[in-house]
Structure 1
Amino acid sequence: LYHCALHTLSLAVLVAGNVHPECDFVTELKKKEAECLEAPQERGNATAPGCKRTWDKLLCWPEADAGEILALPCPNILFHFMKEPAGMIKRNCTKKGWSDPFPPYHVACPVEDEIPLEEQSYFSTIKIIYTVGYSVSVTSLIIAVTVLIAFRRLRCPRNYIHVQLFFTFILKAIAIFIKDAVLFQKEGIDHCSFSTTECKISVVFCHYFMMTNFMWLLVEALYLNCLLLSSLSHGRRYFWWLVLCGWGFPTLFTLIWILTKFYFEDTACWDINQGSPYWWLIKGPIIISVGVNFVLFVNIIRILLKKLDPRQINFNNSSQYRRLSRSTLLLIPLFGTHYIVFNFLPEYTSLGVRLYLELCIGSFQGFIVAVLYCFLNQEVQTEIGRRWHGKRYGLVPVWRRTRWTVPSSSGVKMTTSVC
């Protein structure tokens, strides 16, 4: 019965990567076992016939006198897996000790021992989607980085920040692939006790690049706000401070987290964080960065509204709605504002919904960012066009300084920088 309950969780674990619901199951059982065995024996060293308190891997049977029959309900932890109403398990205390449970656990507490085909297909599809999503994102981001670095006229603080953000998406995807390969290299592996230096390193890098990705999303938002609220020279002055924050804060919090895990919670592969206070060293900065990003996002929408021609502001006009909506949708993937929804989803929201939102949508975010902020960037298109026509006709393009705007598909042009 114990192994059947674990089996129902295993496929979801393979998809979720760093989520181990079956480890919560094992941890809860170990906690109940410790409570059972550590409780003082009421009978002490008495020689009178009877049965001592015992743990049978699922239930704690208290002390009983010979001839006494005890009945206990099915363990609460199995209710999630049971396909029928819970029954009662009985054991008889004999002079020789406890009898076998009757009826057996698998009869009194029947659980689903097979994952439905529809559920297997769903999880397999999710895994394929997020694998394709990260692969597409990495490919598009590598191309985007190459373009922004190759063209000299595109080398400016704004694009340098884009490149750093692209790198964090690339490194995060690679770290996730490596972690999955290390932690799930064998199907029969015990994820709850598996502990090697390699798996711990893979988890550390996964958390680190996850945090740097969120931090650079925040840097993008801060830099754009600086450009909108001050002059270009002031924006360049902030550049190196933003770079320091983008890499420095994640490094600091990750190092502190490593030390606390090593000295106070060196269990498994450091990937079981349920109930761990040290997990807030990783989760806390991410939640704060997402919250600040949301505030900056609202502020930029406010600036967009102000930049629209006041004489034309009429919210009954559908075109005005379209212009604002397009600008908003362009800013959401860059600033990671949709993660606000993820952070406030209830902890016990359907596993399928959480997997779809966090894995499928999140895996394609790098691709969306590369398209919106490189491939649809007017500067990039202009430079590629000039280089292409120059080589095609053997002409030396006439270079001129151009000012960058939010991609034209947004409908709202905002001059923010000159490269």
Structure 2
Amino acid sequence: MNPNEEEDRVACALANNQTAPPPGVYCEGTFDQWRCWPPTPANSTAYAACPDFVPGFRPELWAHKECTATGTWWTHPETGRPWSNYTTCVKPEDDVSEIIAVYEAGYSVSLVALLLSLGILFYFKSLRCARITVHMNLFASFAANNALWLAWYGLVVRAPDTLEASPGWCRALNATLQYALLTNYTWMLCEGVYLHTVLVSAFVSERRLLRALLAAGWLLPVPPAALNAARRAAADDPLCWMDEGAPRPELAVLVCVAVLLNLGFLCNIVRVLCTKLRAGGGPAGAQRPSATALHALRATCLLAPLLGLQYLLTPFRPPRTASWWLAYEYVSALSTSLQGLCVAVLYCFCNGEVLAQLRRRWRVLTFRPRANSTTNTTVSFVRSAAPGAAEDKV
């Protein structure tokens, strides 16, 4: 999105009003949200420098817009709207297909791990509790986000015609993707809220707490995602709303609040745990810390990487001209796409309760008692006793 769209629109209208139109048939000067196009004679092409605020565009290259013989700007056959050609703003060597492939591979691995984790937790009914339910919703949030990203890359990013036409379904896909991305943050916040509440509040109704977390995790992202979709629809943003410029305020506010709250929860959790451990240590360390405190400490260590702290430490994306841009993109692709795998490993595959259930189930499936052991013993006894019986008769 053009960060100075309104100013550029006004400046474009003023410049076109002050420019004498070309003789004969011509296309009226216009502004397409990114660039100002002057009045252009029919059967000719207007050129403008590529915008520098769109990631991947080279500002030293040129976009163009065709004026037809009838004095109207060329319209795209799929949308029926005037269309500016910005496809020339990307150099061939700037192809990011390999980076997209890394994202797709990472999201696929994460999605498989998350679905497997959800299947395990659904299968073992004995694991059901408020804490596991929060984990399952976190898994579902990441799984939905990963599946939507795979659909986005496959149906939109790898389909230039769809991207240029910007049909309604791909804009709806983008809006749903933004919502799913926000749920990752809200459910990471719910993880922090649950652990903090259980440790700090001695008496709390887990049922009420779980209901509140379910509502917050899935409903808090709805207003900012809807506002973002409404603003982009009103602005009629092109390219399926794909631009990755500066974070939009309606989305960034929820993300920043969730990350900062989780940071505060983590600091207070560590403080409470340290206080409990010191209180339970005894004067000479004779009294060991309680199992509950140690379990909470381990849960905190597992939760820390998922509280969103890595987003506070991630630097701003460098320009493509930077020497370390490609390395940054690969690191970003791996760390982002494999988050779901980390969630599944930390909260399911490394969960002691889950591992105990899997081992118990494995023993049941692999246990094979000796076939017909009682029958074999009886037959052996009869065979060994038969000769003796014959001798008695003799």
In the TM superposition, residue 201 of structure 1 has moved relative to its aligned partner by 1.2
Is 1:392 the equivalent of 2:366? yes
Is 1:363 the equivalent of 2:334? no
Cα 1:356/1:305, change in 2 over 3 Å: farther
**Paired residue type of 1:38:** N
In the TM superposition, residue 376 of structure 1 has moved relative to its aligned partner by 0.9
- Kindly provide the CA deviation profile for residues 291-329 of structure 1, in whole angstroms up to 9, marking residues without a partner as x: 21122222223234334455699xxxxxxxxx9998775
Cα 1:113/1:209, change in 2 over 3 Å: closer
In 2, the alpha carbon distance for the partners of 1:391 and 1:75 equals 67
In 2, the alpha carbon distance for the partners of 1:235 and 1:227 equals 8
In 1, the alpha carbon distance for the partners of 2:345 and 2:232 equals 39
Is the 2:200–2:272 contact (alpha carbons within 8 Å) kept by the matching residues of 1? no
Between 229-238 and 130-139, the greater mean CA deviation after superposition = 229-238
Cα 1:273/1:376, change in 2 over 3 Å: closer
Is 1:334 the equivalent of 2:312? no
In the TM superposition, residue 24 of structure 1 has moved relative to its aligned partner by 6.0
1:260 equivalent in structure 2: 231
- Matched positions, count: 303
Which of 13, 18, 23 does residue 40 from structure 1 map onto?
18
1:213 equivalent in structure 2: 184
Is the 2:134–2:191 contact (alpha carbons within 8 Å) kept by the matching residues of 1? yes
In 2, the alpha carbon distance for the partners of 1:355 and 1:58 equals 28
Any gaps of 5 or more consecutive residues in structure 2? 23-28, 39-47, 62-87, 286-294, 370-394
Cα 1:285/1:230, change in 2 over 3 Å: same
2:124 equivalent in structure 1: 151
In 2, the alpha carbon distance for the partners of 1:136 and 1:151 equals 23
Cα 1:352/1:327, change in 2 over 3 Å: farther
- Kindly provide the CA deviation profile for residues 129-148 of structure 1, in whole angstroms up to 9, marking residues without a partner as x: 22221111111111111111
Which of 85, 88, 111 does residue 138 from structure 1 map onto?
111
In the TM superposition, residue 275 of structure 1 has moved relative to its aligned partner by 6.6
1:237 equivalent in structure 2: 208
In 1, the alpha carbon distance for the partners of 2:35 and 2:236 equals 26
Give the 3-state SS of the residue equivalent to 1:338 in structure 2.
Answer: helix
TM-score by length of 2: 0.64
- Kindly provide the CA deviation profile for residues 193-252 of structure 1, in whole angstroms up to 9, marking residues without a partner as x: 532111111101110100111111110110011111123743333110111001111123
Is 1:301 the equivalent of 2:279? no
Cα 1:336/1:273, change in 2 over 3 Å: closer
2:377 equivalent in structure 1: none
* Identity across the alignment (%): 25
In 2, the alpha carbon distance for the partners of 1:272 and 1:221 equals 32
Cα 1:249/1:58, change in 2 over 3 Å: closer
Which of 330, 340, 348 does residue 374 from structure 1 map onto?
348
TM-score by length of 1: 0.60
Is 1:346 the equivalent of 2:320? no
In the TM superposition, residue 381 of structure 1 has moved relative to its aligned partner by 1.0
Cα 1:369/1:75, change in 2 over 3 Å: closer
In 2, the alpha carbon distance for the partners of 1:171 and 1:272 equals 21
Cα 1:152/1:381, change in 2 over 3 Å: same
In 1, the alpha carbon distance for the partners of 2:131 and 2:335 equals 26
